[in-house]
Structures are given as C-alpha cells and as structure tokens.
Amino acid sequence: MSLVSFLKSRLVSTELDEHINRIRKPIGTLGYDPWGYNNETVKYGLSLAKPIYEKYFRTEAQGVDHIPAQGPVLIVGNHSGQLPIDGILIGYALASRTKSPRIPRAMIERFFPTVPWLGNMLNEVGAVLGDPVNCARMLANNEAIIVFPEGVRGSGKLYRDRYKLQRFGPGFMHLAMKYNAAIVPVGVVGCEETIPAIANIKPLAKALGIPYAPLAMPVVLPAKVHLNFGPPMYFDGEDISETQVGERVEQVKTEINRLIDKGLKERKRLF
C-alpha cells in the first residue's frame, strides 16, 4: 500500500468517499475543473472539516435544505471572525447534507493566490479567486457559490462591531439577476466570538501586504456556531437602475439580519 493510499484510508472514511463520488461535478478526465477543484483533495478537506464542524464548533445548521438541489445558487452570508471559518462551516453543511448534497464553491480574497501552497490548496477544495468573471462563469456552470458581499470589511471588523453588517457590494446581485441564480441568505452566529480582535494594526498589515492584522489572542476559541439558512430569494433579470439594485441588496441584507437575530435568540451560551 503506498503512503498516499495509506493516509487516505486513515483520513477519509469509506462513507465520505462514496458520498463525494455520488455528487456529480463538471470535471475533466484527471479530476480537475478549470478553477483547480480536485475531487480527491476535497475528500481530505471534508474529512478534516468534519471534526471542526461537529466537535470543535458544535455547529447547528437549520434550513440547509433551502439551498436548491441544482442550478446556479449564491449563498450569501455575514462575514466575521478574521479567518474564513464561516465559509468552511457553510460549505461543510451543504456538502454533508443527506438530501442532494452539493460541493459549494467560495470566492476568496485576491491575496490568497499569491501565497504558496495555501493558494493551490484552497483552489483544490473549491475556493476560487473572487473575481466577478470567475463568479459569472461558475454560475453559468450551475455551481453553488458562497459569497460574503462584505468582504474584508466584514471579516476584519473588531469585536465591538460584532453582528453589525457592513456595507454590501452590489456585485452579487447583478450576477444573480444576470444568471437567474437563487440567493440563499444565511445568518452566521458564533464566528464573531472565535477570534475576538480589539484592534487592527494597519501598518503591519500594509508591511505584510495582507488585508488586515488583528490584535487578538493567537487561538481560535471554540464558540458554538449557529447557521440559519433562509428560503431562496429570486430576482428577475430586468434592466433596472443602480438605485433599484441597491434596494434589492438591502432586501437580502434585511433577511440576513433577521436570520442573525434568530440565531442570537436561539443561542443559549457563547461556548
């Protein structure tokens, strides 16, 4: 038995292997898609995400079946917690659901492709450079894409601003309208408490060429995470003004706020 197959047998359970193999993906003959997604790496990724999702953050996901079984979907959520843990948990919730699971894609910061090893690894598990062209092509490919329209404004915010939605970029709405994609809102509660930051050291971030450098404890706290998925929202593709697009973005934002409030009410304790 080679080292790779030995590691695979220890890491990836047979059920998970079969579970992933059942999900149909538009991949080439060697298991890759144009963005670098790899069917085998995803199995390792999900095997590692499983204990993080179930044991560490004891994630509770409600309404994950709101995500349509097929067709283009944008899963739009609130971004928080310095690291993209929220994206991993949403992704795992969708990939592991029993009824018509899907392998989601995530749009990531432009900084990641320049980081050796990490950039490729993220691509192989389905994360893609956050470029509108990429998002459009993937929607045309009927993918389900996790989007955080707040971007680094959301993930890099300080603990005192927790659960305050930052400005949403309107790009996701334009794409959803153009490609007739369903928007599934999701309220993430708990990730704000994983890495509470009290300040952003801007000169350090600038020197390192990273979006932000939080002043926080060097640990990820095991906060309990609640994911609340809302019913899919559909917006027609008529030619409307930017102001009207903004109003539609506000509708999505309001729904996410409602889902966050629901999660906060349901939460019994932080950890």
Partner 1 sequence: MTSPTTKQRKPNILVTGAAGSLAQQVIKRLQKTCNLVAVDARTQVPLGDDIPSYCMDLNHRLLEDLFRRYKFDGVIHLGRIRSSQLTRMRRYNANVLGTQNLLDLSQKYGVRRVIVLSTYHVYGAMAYNPALITESAPLKSAGLSADLIDSVELENLASIYLWRYPELNISILRPCNIVGPGVRNTVSSLLASQRAPVLAGFSPMMQFIHIDDMADAIALAYKKPVRGIFNVAPGDWVAYQRALQLCGCTRIPVPSIPPLLPRLILRTLGLRRFPAYLMGFFKYPVVIDGREFENEFGFTAKRPLKEIFHFYKNNKTPL
Could you give phi then psi for residue 165, rounded to 5 degrees?
-65, 135
Piece of 28-36, 46-54, 188-196, 250-258 that binds partner 1 (CB under 8 A): 28-36
30 touches partner 1 by CB under 8 A: yes
| Token digits of residue 68 | 């349509």
Member of 2, 5, 14, 29 binding partner 1 (CB under 8 A): 29
Binding status of residue 74 toward partner 1 by CB under 8 A: no
Name beta bridge partners: 105: 145
CB of 131 vs partner 1, minimal distance in Å:
5
Nearer Cβ to partner 1 (36/263): 36
Q: Which residue has the tokens 């490729």?
A: 120
Residues 242/170, Cβ–Cβ less than 8 Å: yes
Q: Does 128 bind partner 1 (CB under 8 A)?
A: yes
Residue matched to tokens 């994609």? 181
Q: List the one residue out of 256, 155, 158, 141 whose CA is nearest residue 199.
A: 158
By the rule CB under 8 A, 110 interacts with partner 1: yes
Region from 1-9, 133-141, 163-171, 215-223 binding partner 1, contact rule CB under 8 A: 133-141
- Six token digits for residue 75: 């899963």
Give the 3-state secondary structure of residue 225.
coil
Is the CB of 123 or the CB of 166 nearer to partner 1? 123
Q: 246 - beta bridge partners?
A: none
Q: Residues in the site for partner 1, rule: CB under 8 A?
A: 28-30, 32-36, 38, 110, 113-120, 123-124, 128-129, 131, 133-134, 137
